[in-house]
Structures are given as C-alpha cells and as structure tokens.
Amino acid sequence: MSDSIGVAVIGAGMAGKAHMAAWRNAPSLFGSTLPPVRLVSIGDVYEPLAAQAARRFGYARHDTDWRAIAAADDIDVVSVVVANTLHREIVEGLLAAGKHVLCEKPLADSLEDARAMASAADAAAARGQTARVGFTYRRAPGLAAIKQFVEDSTLGRVLHVSGRYWTDYGSSPEVPFSWRFAGAPGTGALADVGSHLTYVAEFLAGEVRSVNGGLFTTTITERPVAAGHVLRGQQAQFTGEVATVDNDDYATFNARFGGGTAVGSLEVSRVAAAHPNGLVIEVFCENGAARWDQERPSEIGLALRSDGSRLGGYRQVVLGPEHPYVAGGMAMDAPGVGWGQNQMFEYQARAFLDEVTGNTTDPLPANATFDDGVHNMEVLDAVARSAASGGASLDVRTTEGANA
C-alpha cells in the first residue's frame, strides 16, 4: 500500500453512495500528501445496483459477495454500509483478511456483537490495521465550532442540552417493510437516528452516564411487503402481504452527562412529516448558549451572557475559514458558500486515510473507535431498558461492568 490505496464500499444504497463519493474526493482536501487512491469495487447483493453505482462513481468493478472484496489483493480499505445485522460477520471477515475497515453506525444490532467486533478491532490494531466507526456529524463545522467555544471557555461548562432528530422516511403507512423496521424495541428510530443524536450530544457535553424517562412508541404497526428490491424513496409494487413492525417509530429519553452536572433531553422520530432530516442540537452553558440545525448547516446560533440584556438572544454566525474544516477543506473555502452532510463524509474519509497512512502533517481529528461505537450502543441499550421499565433511571452499563 506504499504507492497507492485501493478502496471498496460494501452496500450501494444511499449512505453507501455517500461513502463512494467521499473516497473519490477525500485526497483533494487540505492540500493532501496522501498516496493515490484507487477506486476498486462496489459490493452489493443486488447486482444491478452495484453495477450502476460502480459506473456512476468511477469504481473499476462490482461484486455481489463481500467475500470477494475480502479476498482481493488490490483492496486495502473498505467501507461497510449495510444493514446493522450484517455488520459483525462482514467486519470480522474483512479484518481477518487484513483490510482497514470504516463501519457505519450503529456498530451492530446487539451489544454482544458490538463488543465482539471491538475485540476483533483490537486484535487487528496489533497487526497494524485501522478499524473505525462512522460518527459523521462530528465533522460538521458548526458542531466542531460549538465544541471549541465550550472548550475555550467562550461558552464554558455545559449545563443542559436539548436535542431532537426528526425524520419522515417512515411517516407514510405505504412505505414498504425493510430491515429498518425489523427488530425489537430500540432497534428502530433510536438505533437509526438516535445513535447519531446521542454521539452528537456527547461530543458537546461529555459521555452519557445514566438515562431516565425512556419511552418508545410504534405508530405504524404494519407495513406492506414489496415485490422485489426497492430503494428508499422509490415507488414499490406490493405482494399484498403485510409485515408486523415491532421496533420504535418514536423514542425519547433524558440523560445525565459527564460528572453529573450536565443533563439533557433527546427525542427522535422517523414519522415526523415534513422533516426529512431534522437534526437540531442546543446547548446551554455557563457563559451563554449555542444552537445548530442540520437544515441550516452553514451557520450556528450563538448567544453570550457578556452581551448583556440589551443585546441578548441568538446571533447568526455564518461559518467560514476561521471555523473548523472550512479553510482548505472546501474548493471555495469562503464564508457563506455553504456545505452539507455530503462534505462530512469526505472529511471522515480523509481522516481515515490519514490514520491508515500514518500521516502526521496536519492530520484531521481521528475517527471514532470501535470502543466508541460500543459505548454508543451501551447508551442505546440503557434507553431500551429504561423504556421497558416504565422510564426508570438506569446507569449506562459499560463493557467493564458487563464483564464484572
């Protein structure tokens, strides 16, 4: 891998395409000194989709079995972007084959599988391999700027957090049954978008130590079964059968962060009509407050107590080169140009390549480890246990605690 890096993506759906584009664009960010990146293969069990994606994004070939990618000598780095239930088998197989792996969140569909994957990642690290989980929103310039304002005392210590991630991909009862609607309570909206919201809140306020008030609802309890392969958002032909939905359309919980002084309330939904991707986080601190909205990603709201009551309230801060990731990370790195979630995948891919190659020349902040991915699932597990116990207050069970 000294002269070039071969990459592949397993999973050709929406998020998979974001990874495909990211590997193509990552070497152009921040005056890269990386070796050339070779776009080798797109893997998907649905061959027409894999072939189409490979042509669209300029990958040399496509495969229908992840094992072919694991066995390929010309592939070094692999993104795993498939259903959560498939993560463990594929990731462990890729690591055993010597690949570097970037896995989408949540790390797995169960804590047992996530912890096993973290153990496999530790063993791979001893062999010089890198395994990371994609906490993409950590790369949002606005969230990174708020984190800086917390840490440099502009905002200071976080007192409480309010966050919600409202989406509408399941708001219609005509949306066909898929893997996202399969599984026990806690594997629905909470695992899908709640995993994002949880690590974003922790990014700003510190680790979640305990949760309470867990509450799930399933508002659409049956969904039609599609005839054949259907991508998200596509019109479907139905078989006339229906499948039962047992996991959560909506979830909410309260959290206690860090040393216990910061608290917060978090809410997620996949049935929030008119909110296709509505992630909003607001932090209230000893010196003021800040707010970020995914639907307005090129700005933040900032309020400082030092402004006094006459000038109190949120001001609009348009993000630009003086904020994280912008200078050198965008072709037009000027204030007000704008960017969005696609660029976050590019920053993530570039950071992964920095780690794989051992780049020490202004590397980006490292991606989340598999241990971070396990902790994320430990929080979600605590929420599910709280909901099953009528909203009981429960500590997050850590890996160490699980093994005690």
Report, as an integer, the average pLDDT of 297-318: 92
pLDDT digits (tens, 9 = 90+) for 229-254: 766 666 778 889 999 999 999 999 99
Strands 77-80 and 100-104: parallel
User: Can you list the pairs that 111-114 forms with residues at least 24 positions away whose Cβ atoms lie under 8 Å?
Assistant: 111/374, 111/377, 111/378, 111/381, 111/402, 113/87, 113/88, 114/88, 114/370, 114/373, 114/374, 114/377
Is there a single domain that holds both residue 127 and residue 162?
A: no
Which CA distances in Å does 4 have to 54, 66, 70, 250? 19, 22, 18, 45
Strands 250-257 and 100-104: unpaired
- Structural domain tally of the chain? 2
Share of the chain above pLDDT 70, in %: 97
Q: Given this model, what pLDDT does residue 403 score? A: 38
Number of Cα atoms under 13 Å in the Cβ half of residue 271:
17
pTM above threshold 0.85: yes
Q: Of 314, 339, 364, which residue sits at a domain end?
A: 339
In a domain, 90, yes or no: yes
Q: Of 136, 155, 170, which residue sits at a domain end?
A: 136
Is there a single domain that holds both residue 154 and residue 284?
A: yes
Report, as an integer, the average pLDDT of 254-266: 92
Which CA distances in Å does 34 have to 7, 225, 265, 357? 14, 46, 42, 7
**Which are the contacts of 89, defined by CB distance < 8 A and separation ≥ 6?**
none
303, pLDDT greater than 60:
yes
Is there a single domain that holds both residue 56 and residue 203?
A: no
Is there a single domain that holds both residue 90 and residue 149?
A: no
pLDDT digits (tens, 9 = 90+) for 46-60: 999 999 999 999 999
Which range of residues forms the domain containing residue 306?
Answer: 141-339
CATH number of the domain enclosing 173: 3.30.360.10
In a domain, 392, yes or no: no
Is there a single domain that holds both residue 27 and residue 128?
A: yes
Is there a single domain that holds both residue 36 and residue 90?
A: yes
**Which are the contacts of 6, defined by CB distance < 8 A and separation ≥ 6?**
38, 40, 72, 74, 75, 76, 77
Is there a single domain that holds both residue 127 and residue 169?
A: no
Q: How far apart are CA 196 and CA 194, in angstroms?
A: 5
Q: Of 300, 315, 339, which residue sits at a domain end?
A: 339
Is there a single domain that holds both residue 32 and residue 122?
A: yes
In a domain, 386, yes or no: no
In a domain, 404, yes or no: no
Is there a single domain that holds both residue 112 and residue 154?
A: no
What does the DSSP 8-state code read for residue 293? E
Q: Which residue has the higher pLDDT, 334 or 282?
A: 282
Q: How far apart are CA 313 and CA 311, in angstroms?
A: 7
In a domain, 345, yes or no: no
Q: Which two tokens stand for residue 209?
A: 């130590």
In a domain, 171, yes or no: yes
Is there a single domain that holds both residue 242 and residue 265?
A: yes
Is there a single domain that holds both residue 91 and residue 31?
A: yes
CATH number of the domain enclosing 64: 3.40.50.720
**Residue 106 preceded by cis peptide, ω within 30:** yes
Residues recorded for the chain: 404
**Which are the contacts of 152, defined by CB distance < 8 A and separation ≥ 6?**
none
